[in-house]
Structure 1
Amino acid sequence: MRTVKTSGKTVEEAVEIALIELDASRNEVEIDVISQGKAGILGIGSELAAVNVTKIDNVNDSIKTGYEVVNHLIELMGADLELNINHKSDNDHVESVLEIVGDDSGLLIGRKGETLKALQFIANVLVSNKTGSKSRISIDVEGYEDRRNQSLINLANRVAQRVTKTGRHIELEPMNPRERRVIHMALAEHTSVITESSGSGFDRRVVISPI
């Protein structure tokens, strides 16, 4: 596994530079947007967009192992659940997702998705131990992540309106890398605010600021 930090005029340009450096395609990396950057006025006050891009080793092996691990956990629960591997596309980024469906699926979501997050954390630890390298697998339950994504997009737009109105930056609650990316992408084309990630570890969050 290798991580590079790159900058560019746009997030997309920074990502493309990172992909060249890593000799990787989109479906082999994890992208963390550090800053969207800003154009400035006549070049004054401009800032480059910045990203951390990590090439994940053994992507296919991780998904296969992840399927075995999560399926075993489901069997131990004795719940009426079924596990599938789905491929979700976000622009030109393709992500393999382990999707759980069934009559007992609600048990795996929990309040604000906390149970699902815990399951995903445990599964990634077990998969990393089995493959010998850091793995990042995504788990979804009955389309919960899609609903969560829409909720995050709505949140981003509401906060952006508030920031534009007050002229003050707002810090969102801590989020995982995938959730932060949803916020960054939702406001990537916004003309009045910029986003950047702040903090570290489980306290890392998105800050929305006026331009």
Structure 2
Amino acid sequence: MSDTTTATAEGSEPALTRLEQEGEIAADYLEGLLDIADLDGDIDMDVEADRALVSIMADGSPRDLQKLVGREGEVLEALQELTRLAVLRETGERSRLMLDIAGHREAKRVKLTELAAETVAQVKETGEAVKLRPMTPFERKVVHDAVAEAGLNSESEGEEPQRRVVVLP
């Protein structure tokens, strides 16, 4: 038996892994939030790269969930932190859970990966470092990963909320 699963009382099926448990707690919390806000949405859970991923997708029009995304994803970021706190309250452990609503983060990931590719090409062509605009921690991680995959190095500089990625030659 692996360290992440334990047997249930009956001993027949493995219990949820820690990340699956985080996802279940988050889904319950978010389901309650959707009920309070009188919004319809389907909640999907996954585990990727040692992180629980929880997505809320619209049952009907995606515009219904845009209130939960907010301008530039600000409401989404706040809801992610509240959801992480709900998990902390239940488990006693800090969570790195990632929340997506109406595909907002996935669309942003695609755009940031394209930005990283363009920046990598520019750095390779000029041989000079390029500083990008200030970004959220999620955005910086996506860019760092894409830059590393392209074979270059990057670093973050500055203080929040002006922290930015610098792509190095």
Deviation at 1:182, TM superposition (A): 2.0
Aligned to 1:175: 136
Q: Find the aligned partners of 1:24 and 1:154 in 2 and give their Cα distance.
A: 38
Deviation at 1:127, TM superposition (A): 1.9
User: Share of identical aligned residues, percent?
Assistant: 27
Deviation at 1:88, TM superposition (A): 6.2
Of residues 195, 200, 211, the one that matches 2:154 is 195
SS, match of residue 206 in structure 1:
strand
Q: Find the aligned partners of 1:73 and 1:144 in 2 and give their Cα distance.
A: 18
Give per-residue Cα distances to partners, 1:162-189, cap 9 Å, x unaligned: 333443322332321x433321232224
Moved over 4 A (4+): 199-204
Q: Which piece of structure 1 moves more, 199-208 or 140-149?
A: 199-208
Structure with a larger share of its residues in helix: 2
| Gaps in structure 2 of 5+ consecutive residues | 5-16
TM-score (normalised: structure 2): 0.72
Instruction: Report the aligned-residue RMSD.
Output: 2.8
Correspondence 1:97 to 2:53: yes
Aligned to 2:99: 139
TM-score (normalised: structure 1): 0.60
Give per-residue Cα distances to partners, 1:139-175, cap 9 Å, x unaligned: 1122222211110011112222333344332233232
Task: Kindly provide the amino acid, as one letter, of the partner of residue 154 in structure 2.
Answer: T
Q: Residues 197 and 85 (structure 1 numbering): CA distance in 2 closer, same or farther, change over 3 Å?
A: same
Q: Find the aligned partners of 1:130 and 1:203 in 2 and give their Cα distance.
A: 33
Aligned to 1:84: 43
Q: Residues 117 and 130 (structure 1 numbering): CA distance in 2 closer, same or farther, change over 3 Å?
A: same
Q: Residues 101 and 110 (structure 1 numbering): CA distance in 2 closer, same or farther, change over 3 Å?
A: same
| Gaps in structure 1 of 5+ consecutive residues | 1-22, 26-56
The number of residue pairs the alignment matches comes to 151
Larger RCO, structures 1/2 (Cα 8 Å, 6+ apart):
1
